[in-house]
Amino acid sequence: MGLHAGEIILIIAVVLLLFGTSKLPELGRSIGKALSEFKKGLKEGAEDADTGKESGSQAKTGKSKKKARK
């Protein structure tokens, strides 16, 4: 059910037509940054959830370690 070679080539051709070869490196960088920020946010969210479970008083007051540091 995955993508086959013909479908991948078609997608690449459409992307080249839409953005052109000069914009592709910039597009790749921006997508990479977005993915890394998304993963960072997921990791921080999981850490906040874990610290909230361990420390019930922080979870009740709504204060996290980040807010306490500022």
User: pLDDT averaged over the chain?
Assistant: 80
Is the pLDDT reported for residue 39 higher than 70? yes
Higher pLDDT, 17 or 48: 17
The reported pLDDT for the residue numbered 70 is 46
Contacts of 49 (CB under 8 A, 6+ apart): none
Residue 63 phi, psi (nearest 5): -95, 135
pTM, rounded to two decimals: 0.50
